[in-house]
Each structure stands twice: as C-alpha cells, then as structure tokens.
Amino acid sequence: MAKIIGNLTPADDYTHPLGPEKNFNESVYFNFFDPTQKRGGFLRIGNRANEGYAEMTVIVWNPDGSAYFTYAKPEIDNNDRWAAGGIDIEIAEPTERILTRYEGKALFLEDPKVMENPSEAFKNNPRRIIRIDLEHVAVGPLYGHVGEPGDGNEFARSHTEQHMKVSGRLMLAGEELDFSGWGLRDHSWGPRFWQSTPSYRWITCNFNNNLGLILTTNGDGIGKGLFQKGQLLEKIEAVSLKTEFDETFGFHKSLEAELKLASGTIQHLSGKVISYIPLRNRRSGANTRIGEGMTEYRLDDGLIGYGLSEYLDQAESN
C-alpha cells in the first residue's frame, strides 16, 4: 500500500458523510498524459448532493491540439459514490488503485479556445461518442489533510493528492487507442465556492514513475510546491512563476518557474502549452474563469514531462 502523509486514513479515499452546508462538495479529479502520443486530459466529478446535482467535466486533448470536451450537471440525491452523467469511479484499492470510466457524447473542438463562448461552442461543434477506461496506480504517497468544520475554508477544507501511473484504453469517435502514461489525482470534500479564492496557478507534471511535481501559486506567481520522488516528498519552499500570455485572448501560452528546494538547491522549470481550453463557473452573478492547458515541461532544460497548467481568476481581476 502507498505511504500516507498527513492526518489521513485509507478510508478517506471513499466518499464522506454529507455535511450540513448547502454548498457541500465532494469531488475527485484525475489527469492523465501519454508522453509518447502527446495525448492527455482530465476527468472530474463533484457531488453537490445538498443542491441536487453533480458537476462533471471530461476533456481529452489530441496531439494536433483539438479536443473532446463535455460538461454537465446531472441530478443526484446522495453522496454515496461518484457515478453520474456517464462517469463512474471505482476505488479498487484505497490509496493504491482507482478505476475511472466515462462513456457518452462529447463536443469535438478543432480549436478548444472557442469555449470562450460556450453557448456558441455547444451550438456549432459536432458531438461524438467517446469512452474512457483507465486504471490509475500509485507511484507516490497519498498526501494531504483533513480539515475541521468551522475553519472558514470555503474551497478545499479537506484535500488529498497523489501521483499515479495511468494505463488503459480510450475510444474517440470510433478509434480505439491504448493509453500509457502518468498523471495526478486529487480529492476534496467540504463546502466549496469557486468564487471564494481570488486567483491561483496550479501546475502539475509527471516525468516518470519516480519523479513528479506540483506547484501552487497566487495570481502574482509566488507560491510553493512539492517534488514526488518515489515514495518520498521533497518540499519546494519557494516558487517564482512568470507567465507569457496571449496578447489578443489573454490565455497563458508558456511559463518559467524558479524553484527553491528545502535543501537550498535551485531548479528551473519551463512549460509550453500544447492545447488550451477556457472554462468558467458562474454562481450568483459571479464569473470564475478557469484556463486549462495541456503542457509540455522541461526541468533544468533537460528532462521532459507532461501535465496540466490551470490558471483561475475571478472575471473582474482578469
């Protein structure tokens, strides 16, 4: 069984008792990237049973930059498991092995940036049947924390993350594909408003079984992170992130980050966005922008890895 770091137990891999908060959310997220194919994506489902629905998102990026994408709010009335809208998550071995499946229709987007106007994108792009059938096996420890009720955290009171090896099959518009690569999974539970955090940048990357990283910064690019080195975690005590944005549309195109490790070592990470999709979350008149980029990374101008760069901003802060 994978090592556990933090005040977690294997039981925390499953759903938890539904909290009293109307906006109680329990979500799981899995990203996955095949370095040989340069194909990747993510799958997320968040149960909001007190509000009567789940939020689900699926995206698969193709090597040419096109993508399959779907988003929905299927009705649910309990928090017993993650299974709605065509998504089905199976905790095969807690902390160790998770199965993720999706079958249903998805928009085919030659240029995913058209999701800047979602109503037009859903109206003007074809739908295709896709199927995802992947196994996620731990290559690093499960780490995170269980928060306390009443702590004022309205975004991720309790949260876990883990680096994974990913394999299985994709079926994209009739084409069957083997998949083999790496990714990161996370799991959050507690009250959540996407509007409760002003801005962040979330960088995830896997290079191989024994090396991955995660960086989290504020909108100014100052933050911290972790290296996953087998079953060990090494703290990145300081991150300084600089981003190049597209002048016309404002999406992030590339990034450079200086990483200061706990040992005092300085490392450099660069990233180039291969394909980008702009998403949004609207609630009570507020509009949260979430830019998702499939990204190719280089560590110290040498080792190449793949992962996600996610940039969240509230609309008024651009």
| Per-residue model confidence as pLDDT tens digits over 252-282 | 999 999 999 999 999 999 999 999 999 987 7
Q: What is the mean pLDDT of residues 125-142?
A: 98
Gap between the Cα atoms of 167 and 53, Å rounded = 30
pLDDT at residue 283, as a whole number: 65
Q: What whole-number distance in Å separates Cα of residue 203 and Cα of residue 13?
A: 23
d(CA 48, CA 22): 8
DSSP-derived 3-state class of residue 154:
coil
What's the predicted TM-score (pTM) here?
A: 0.94
Cβ-in-10-Å burial (0-12, 13-18, 19+) of 287 comes to middle
The pLDDT of residue 150 is 59
E strand intervals along the chain: 4-5, 24-34, 39-48, 53-61, 67-72, 83-84, 87-93, 97-109, 127-138, 142-145, 158-172, 175-191, 199-208, 211-217, 222-229, 232-245, 252-261, 266-283, 286-299, 303-314
Amino acid at 73: K
Would you give the distance in Å from CA 98 to the centre of its chain? 15
Rounded mean pLDDT of 146-160?
A: 71
Per-residue pLDDT tens digits for 294-311: 999 999 989 999 999 999
- With residue 187 as reference, give the H or E element that holds it: strand 175-191
Question: In this predicted structure, what is the pLDDT of residue 317?
Answer: 42
The C-alpha atoms of residue 78 and residue 95 are separated, in whole angstroms, by 23
Question: Measuring CA to CA, which residue among 217, 75, 55, 58 is closest to residue 134?
Answer: 58
Residue 23 pairs in a beta bridge with none
- The answer to whether 151 touches 158, Cβ cutoff 8 Å, is no
DSSP code at position 285: T
Q: CA Rg, the chain, in Å?
A: 18
Q: What is the Cα–Cα distance from 130 to 141, expressed in whole angstroms?
A: 31
Contact 81, 89 (CB under 8 A): yes
Residue 301 is predicted with a pLDDT of 84
The single-letter code of the amino acid at 174 is: G
pLDDT tens per residue, range 228-237: 999 999 999 9
> What pLDDT is stored for residue 152 in this prediction?
55
pLDDT tier, 285 (very low <50, low <70, confident <90, very high otherwise): low
* DSSP H or E stretch at residue 122: helix 118-124
Residue range 166-172: mean pLDDT, rounded: 98
Mean pLDDT of the chain, nearest integer: 93
Contact 61, 67 (CB under 8 A): yes
Report which of residues 301 and 40 the model is more confident about.
40
The Cβ-side half-sphere exposure at 127, using a 13 Å CA radius, reads 9
Selected residue with higher pLDDT from 151 and 30: 30
Q: How far apart are CA 241 and CA 222, in angstroms?
A: 6
Where along the chain do its domains lie? 24-317
The most confident of 1-15, 127-141, 187-201, by mean pLDDT = 127-141
Residue 154 gets the label, from left (phi > 0), alpha (psi -120 to 50) or beta, of alpha
